[in-house]
Structure 1
Amino acid sequence: MMVVGAVAGALVTAASAATALRLAGVPDAGALTTYGVPVVTAVGQLSAAIGFGGAMFAAFFVPPQRGGHLDVGGFRAIRWTYAAMLVWAICALAMIPLTISNVSGFSLTETLQPDHLVTAYGQVADAKYWLWTAIFALLAAVLARAALKWGWTFVILALAFLSLMPSALAGHSSAGGGHDVATNSLILHIVAAAAWAGGLLVVLAYSFGDGRWRVLAVRRYSRVAFWCLIVVGISGVVNALVRMPIEQLFTTTYGLIVVGKLSAFVVAAAIGGVHRRITITELEATDEPRKSLFVRFAAVELIVFAIAFGFAAGLSRTPPPDLATTDVSPMALKIGYDLDGPPTLARLLFDWRFDLIFGTAALIAAAVYLRGVWRLRKRGDSWPVGRTVAWLLGCLSLLLATSSGLGRYGPALFSTHMMAHMMLTMLVPVLLVLGGPMTLALRAIPPAGRGNPDGPREWILTGLHSKYSKIVTHPAVVVVVFVGSFYVLYLGGLFDVVVDHHSAHLLMNLHFLISGYLFYWLVIGIDPAPRETTHVAKLGVVLGALPFHAFFGVALMMTTALIAEKYYESLQHPWALDLAADQRVGGGIAWATGEFPLVIVMLALLVQWRRQDEKVARRFDRKEARDEDAELEAYNQMLRGMSAATPAEHETPTDEGTAAAAAASETGSGETDR
């Protein structure tokens, strides 16, 4: 597989090397660099796919043992991950001098000289991306080598995912106009392709070795592969259309390579369709499962994948034709597109640019939630309409904050960025939390059943009750992350450092969503939580966060230092813009829009408190009705017993005067009666 990918990359490079040098405008660095870049890239990316697929296999495709340790199949898969991620790290390190040589035109021998390598490293952005790739891949390899328990597979999977990100953020997709769409589509493309190809190889090896959960692993992989096929196809088309016009598809070298890669994708998709219809059914046969049929089809599909990865490596070596002709403005070079004028209400509402990451996430979240509600209704169970409305409004708010005019103007204006930030932190999480997604999932997803391997429902429960969930939902941790990130990001100078990078905007949006969701899940969440928190503690968390958040908005309005001044000036806005005034508007937005949701949350918390007391009272009344007021009768009997014991307890035999008076009184009374 590695050899096929390397050969395909070398052949594509041989056909496009002259065109690449002409479009890039740099001298030929020599055959070692010309062919080393695609070959090392192909081998490295195939290794990354295998490592990612192995971690995914161990985490989701086969169940662990009862004690939480990996079973035989999961252990072998995670060892595959160790070897593959180690190769990926070595390839990434090798790509640093190769990339510098390719960009500068110096031979690889000259580039490897220490003084030249150190000087050029700071000037070539792609070299830094490859170093980060090596770091993440090496960390994943180290953990995979030591991992024995199932829980660590998720950490390894996350590190393997992060090792794929620098490749998506570097190269042609990160430069020129439309690079925001190109980069987002490439992120989806690379991750889906790695899961599809890497998962197939590990499942093939597991099935060939007669793994215990062979049928389960193939079925789970088949579901994942189906959605990966859709993501790879759509994202690949979007990325190609951003990089070149469709009429250049058959008239340019870049376009012909795209056609070759698309052909490989179609063949792989066709083989995947045969898997779903024929080979999986044959594999499930109880009498004589035809394992060889699945193995043969999977092996052919892997070869096709290797060819596709080789085409992708060669494609990364060939500049798109539009890079040589397009005149890109400073604003389009920075954020990926131009803005025609200042933000108006109409532009903020109707000037859309769909965000492939968060916009797609909003649509998928809405569709999955509605499917869960439909599943409950289909079997006769009810689900509160208010929760459905809250979730859909949360998804709509996420779509508006990232894909409407707010998302379009956010990278170019601090005030609009702050408005989108407040929506992602204060509004979207509140609505999503009130939707109760985990409660819906636990009710809609059927349990695995006794003796069966764990499924999604059991994974959710395991995550909720894990010690890591208890740590991240601790009130102190939640408040520090929720409020402290405002100060560190904007007043601590971090925003100035990261604002120039597209990856930073993606991470900021993700951080806003997660920190807000954790905070509101703690204080008003209706889903089960990892730790029990009293209403008094929740109210204290909200009251404690209010003044810090208000002070941040005021401090932002009063500060005289301009945040990210050089970045905003480099955009060269086509309209007159006062950066100081825009920053004060952003501070006012942070102060005004931040306090209102927190007050609403505090009121909602008080309402929940009252409703819980009412539920407790009704539960007690029902219990007493069933027991015929047994608890009340027991309490009354206790009071009667105490009342009957009172005279004896108050009698004082040592008081002789009182006892004699009582005796005389009784004697007198007796004589009168006689």
Structure 2
Amino acid sequence: MDSQRGVVGALTWVFGWIGAIVAIVVTALSASSAIQLAGVPDPGAITTYGLPALTALGQLSASIALGSTVFAAFFVPPQADGTLDIGGYRAIRVASTTSLIWAVSAILLIPLSISNVSGQSLSKTLNMNNLLTAYGQVADARTWGWTALLAILTAVAARLTMRWGWVFAVLLLASASLLPVALAGHSSAGGNHDLGTNSLILHIGAAAIWMGGLCAVVTYAFAGGHWRALAVRRFSRVAFWCIIVVGLSGVVNALIRVPLGELFTDLYGRIILAKVVALVVLGAFGAWHRRRTIASLDADDAPGADPRRGLFVRFGLVESLVFAVTFGIAVGLSRTPPPPIDTAQLTPAETVIGYRIDAPPTLGRIIGDWRFDLIFGTAAIVLCAVYLRGVVRLRKRGDDWPIGRTISWVLGCLSLLFASSSGMGLYGPAMFSIHMIAHMAMSMLIPVLLVLGGPITLALRALPVAGRGNPPGPREWIQSAIHSKVSRLVANPVVAVVLFVGSFYVLYLGGLFALAADYHAAHVAMNAHFLISGYVFYWLVIGIDPAPRQLSPVAKLAMVLGTLPFHAFFGVALMMSNTVIAETYYRSLHLPWAYNLYDDQRVGGGIAWAAGEVPLVIVMLALLVQWSRQDRKQAKRFDRNAERDHDAELDSYNAMLKELNKGR
């Protein structure tokens, strides 16, 4: 398996240079006009062309790191004791090396970015005083600084990982290392930048998994890995959905940046078309793999066959080459000025949050004005579809699934869609009171409905069992996650309560919200935290799914009642506060109607105070029902035992009472 690392190193080197050369060529098409539009002196050829070259090399390395981590986590099974298989071990070491390349590229891009923005030559920028002064003033430099830090953490974590469970920590860090770039591209500025940023996050993430996963699978098959047929088939399923996500997110992002009429007339539009052609070619390769090359894997496994000459390996290498070219085009596109935006037509709110708000919120506008959230709106639809597919699979098999659970899950998904994409999601970033309604829905209502749907139980029943001697599949992954140390830590009642209630105080009363309100990524992170912390809390309290910690009904009731005073005090504290939270941010929106920020915050505090009542009723009803069912089960179990032993336990109890009476 040493050849696997050598092949990956060679591929990274070759494809990195190909991507860098393509990026330089595409950048050269608009280099002079980009400098003129920036209004700064020419920083020199080293900066102009070194910046896209290093970006292409770094992003290709980051993709291989992410894809190799996904490969180690899902495409090849670990050993029986949880230690990584040799293929997974090699893949995670490749992830460490390529993450280090990503980190070095990001560090080198810091002075190049400063040179590009300031118009100074790279030699002047590298002066330590100039570098330290400019770092805090140039947004791109800070972006690459965060990228380098996350990439270094990924490299260290991957180097220390030996067991399968810890691969997921590496996966989280590798994904996070791509986020700063996604949040700082062309899509993060101007109108519709909320849609642009969300689409770019999905686009970059799916493309990295697709490209990096392909490289990992091809090199594994080239080295004759034992599980190569399994790895290729699993990758094929993932790649299919990556193609869809990359295509749809790319269309959304392109329509935001370029009007349809300028796709053929503007240089930026023509480069987009070149990227579309490359993606179509990649999609054709994917379809070919699914129909022809995957079927040839059995022949490649025949005795005496050379896996290095297999059809999949040959076509996979060509597909990886096209990927390198595509990445180069994408990097060149990011260095090409998009069609100019008439900023004079943008309202302050449109500049800050990405879209216009021309009228105050009313019930009709909250219900009828929709702006689809690409992150949470898509998540709501996907979660609903996957759940219903599991229910249909059970029904086809002849198994029943409670209709109440299905209704609860669907209502939860619809509530998530409404909270993120209706007028509530539209007005949420602009008004504190509407934001607080969405917050309460995402942390207290939606998690309750989702938990009562029992998704883990459904998955464990619908997914097939791998069977003894076979590699673990999705069902076994879920079971492993439930019983992991991380799950036990998160499912600790104290931890769950602190995450659920403590975040209210840290976020709003601790000043974090005021610091984060200006950033779109912060709003996405807040909503994700609300959903996850709420789900974990109610999973322990009313969850019907298996959990690493089983609490008694009394303990569950104590958790619910114990959090109520903290919710109430938080709401009262908001209403009695003498300062407006994130006042600078809200005033910068210059909304076209008059309203008092202090009064709006008091309304938000009242919502936080009262919002706990509705979920509390649902939770109490669910606890009473579960408690009643538990009593009935215990009674039935007692009756069955009595029938088997002819009431021996009752006779023994009566005999004990007789003896006690004799003693009196």
Q: Which TM-score band (shorter chain)?
A: over 0.9
Contact 2:79 2:85 in 1 (8 A): yes
Worse overlay, 107-116 or 306-315: 107-116
Contact 1:282 1:290 in 2 (8 A): no
Contact 1:391 1:434 in 2 (8 A): yes
Deviation at 1:556, TM superposition (A): 0.4
Residue 284 of structure 1: aligned partner: 298
Residue 395 of structure 1: aligned partner: 413
Deviation at 1:560, TM superposition (A): 1.1
Query: 1:176 aligns to what SS in structure 2?
Result: coil
Contact 1:19 1:253 in 2 (8 A): no
Question: Of residues 457, 464, 479 in structure 2, which corresponds to 1:461?
Answer: 479
Residue 100 of structure 1: aligned partner: 114
Deviation at 1:143, TM superposition (A): 1.2
The answer to whether the aligner puts 1:483 opposite 2:483 as a matched pair is no
Q: 1:97 to 1:328 in 2, by over 3 A?
A: farther
Contact 2:508 2:581 in 1 (8 A): yes
Residue 623 of structure 1: aligned partner: 641
Distance, in Å, in 1 between the alignment partners of 2:358 and 2:579 is 28
Residue 427 of structure 1: aligned partner: 445
Worse overlay, 399-408 or 611-620: 611-620
Deviation at 1:601, TM superposition (A): 1.4
One-letter amino acid of the counterpart of residue 62, structure 1 = V
Contact 2:384 2:409 in 1 (8 A): yes
TM-score between both structures, scaled by the size of structure 2: 0.95
Contact 2:99 2:151 in 1 (8 A): yes
One-letter amino acid of the counterpart of residue 19, structure 2 = G
Give percent identity, aligned residues only.
64
Please give the per-residue CA displacement for 1:615-646, whole angstroms capped at 9, x wherever unaligned.
21122213323444343355556677x59x96
Residue 414 of structure 1: aligned partner: 432
Distance, in Å, in 1 between the alignment partners of 2:151 and 2:130 is 26
Please give the per-residue CA displacement for 1:117-147, whole angstroms capped at 9, x wherever unaligned.
1221111122111111111110010111121
Worse overlay, 90-99 or 423-432: 90-99
Residue 35 of structure 1: aligned partner: 49
One-letter amino acid of the counterpart of residue 91, structure 2 = A
Question: Of residues 52, 55, 67 in structure 1, which corresponds to 2:66?
Answer: 52
One-letter amino acid of the counterpart of residue 177, structure 1 = G
The answer to whether the aligner puts 1:244 opposite 2:247 as a matched pair is no
Distance, in Å, in 1 between the alignment partners of 2:348 and 2:144 is 26
Residue 558 of structure 1: aligned partner: 576
Please give the per-residue CA displacement for 1:203-234, whole angstroms capped at 9, x wherever unaligned.
00000011010101001000000000000000
Deviation at 1:28, TM superposition (A): 1.8
Distance, in Å, in 2 between the alignment partners of 1:411 and 1:112 is 40
The answer to whether the aligner puts 1:203 opposite 2:221 as a matched pair is no
Distance, in Å, in 2 between the alignment partners of 1:111 and 1:339 is 42
Residue 654 of structure 1: aligned partner: none
Query: 2:610 aligns to what SS in structure 1?
Result: helix
TM-score between both structures, scaled by the size of structure 1: 0.93
The answer to whether the aligner puts 1:587 opposite 2:605 as a matched pair is yes
Query: 2:380 aligns to what SS in structure 1?
Result: helix
Deviation at 1:23, TM superposition (A): 3.2
Q: What 5-or-longer segments of structure 2 have no aligned partner?
A: 1-14
Residue 449 of structure 1: aligned partner: 467
Residue 509 of structure 1: aligned partner: 527
Please give the per-residue CA displacement for 1:162-214, whole angstroms capped at 9, x wherever unaligned.
00100100021110001000000000000000000000001000000110101
Contact 1:137 1:163 in 2 (8 A): yes
One-letter amino acid of the counterpart of residue 333, structure 2 = L
One-letter amino acid of the counterpart of residue 317, structure 1 = R
Residue 177 of structure 1: aligned partner: 191
Distance, in Å, in 1 between the alignment partners of 2:340 and 2:254 is 11
Rg comparison, structure with higher value: 1
Query: 1:284 aligns to what SS in structure 2?
Result: helix
Question: Of residues 118, 132, 153 in structure 2, which corresponds to 1:118?
Answer: 132
Residue 105 of structure 2: aligned partner: 91
Deviation at 1:116, TM superposition (A): 1.5
Distance, in Å, in 2 between the alignment partners of 1:541 and 1:636 is 38
Task: Note the 1:187-336 alignment, pairs <5 A.
Answer: 187-285=201-299, 287=302, 291=307, 292-323=310-341, 327-336=345-354
One-letter amino acid of the counterpart of residue 8, structure 1 = V
Residue 525 of structure 1: aligned partner: 543
Worse overlay, 16-25 or 41-50: 16-25
Query: 1:323 aligns to what SS in structure 2?
Result: coil
Residue 542 of structure 1: aligned partner: 560
Contact 2:358 2:591 in 1 (8 A): no
Contact 1:126 1:171 in 2 (8 A): no
One-letter amino acid of the counterpart of residue 296, structure 2 = E
Distance, in Å, in 2 between the alignment partners of 1:609 and 1:635 is 26
Contact 2:30 2:337 in 1 (8 A): no
Deviation at 1:600, TM superposition (A): 3.2
Residue 607 of structure 1: aligned partner: 625
Distance, in Å, in 1 between the alignment partners of 2:504 and 2:558 is 20
Contact 2:70 2:213 in 1 (8 A): yes
Contact 1:95 1:127 in 2 (8 A): yes
Distance, in Å, in 1 between the alignment partners of 2:657 and 2:431 is 73
Distance, in Å, in 2 between the alignment partners of 1:323 and 1:130 is 26
Deviation at 1:535, TM superposition (A): 1.1
Contact 2:442 2:530 in 1 (8 A): yes
Residue 670 of structure 1: aligned partner: none
Residue 6 of structure 2: aligned partner: none
Question: Of residues 151, 164, 167 in structure 2, which corresponds to 1:150?
Answer: 164
Query: 1:64 aligns to what SS in structure 2?
Result: coil
Q: What 5-or-longer segments of structure 1 have no aligned partner?
A: 651-674
Question: Of residues 88, 92, 110 in structure 2, which corresponds to 1:74?
Answer: 88
Question: Of residues 501, 508, 516 in structure 2, which corresponds to 1:498?
Answer: 516
Distance, in Å, in 1 between the alignment partners of 2:541 and 2:166 is 29
Contact 1:244 1:322 in 2 (8 A): no
Equivalent pairs counted in the alignment come to: 646
Query: 2:164 aligns to what SS in structure 1?
Result: coil
One-letter amino acid of the counterpart of residue 320, structure 1 = P
Please give the per-residue CA displacement for 1:641-664, whole angstroms capped at 9, x wherever unaligned.
x59x96xx99xxxxxxxxxxxxxx
Q: 1:498 to 1:180 in 2, by over 3 A?
A: same
Worse overlay, 389-398 or 628-637: 628-637
Contact 2:43 2:119 in 1 (8 A): yes
Distance, in Å, in 2 between the alignment partners of 1:25 and 1:357 is 36
Residue 384 of structure 2: aligned partner: 366
Contact 1:283 1:290 in 2 (8 A): no
Distance, in Å, in 2 between the alignment partners of 1:479 and 1:290 is 57
The answer to whether the aligner puts 1:377 opposite 2:395 as a matched pair is yes
The answer to whether the aligner puts 1:404 opposite 2:418 as a matched pair is no
One-letter amino acid of the counterpart of residue 175, structure 2 = F
Worse overlay, 608-617 or 537-546: 608-617
Contact 1:550 1:595 in 2 (8 A): no
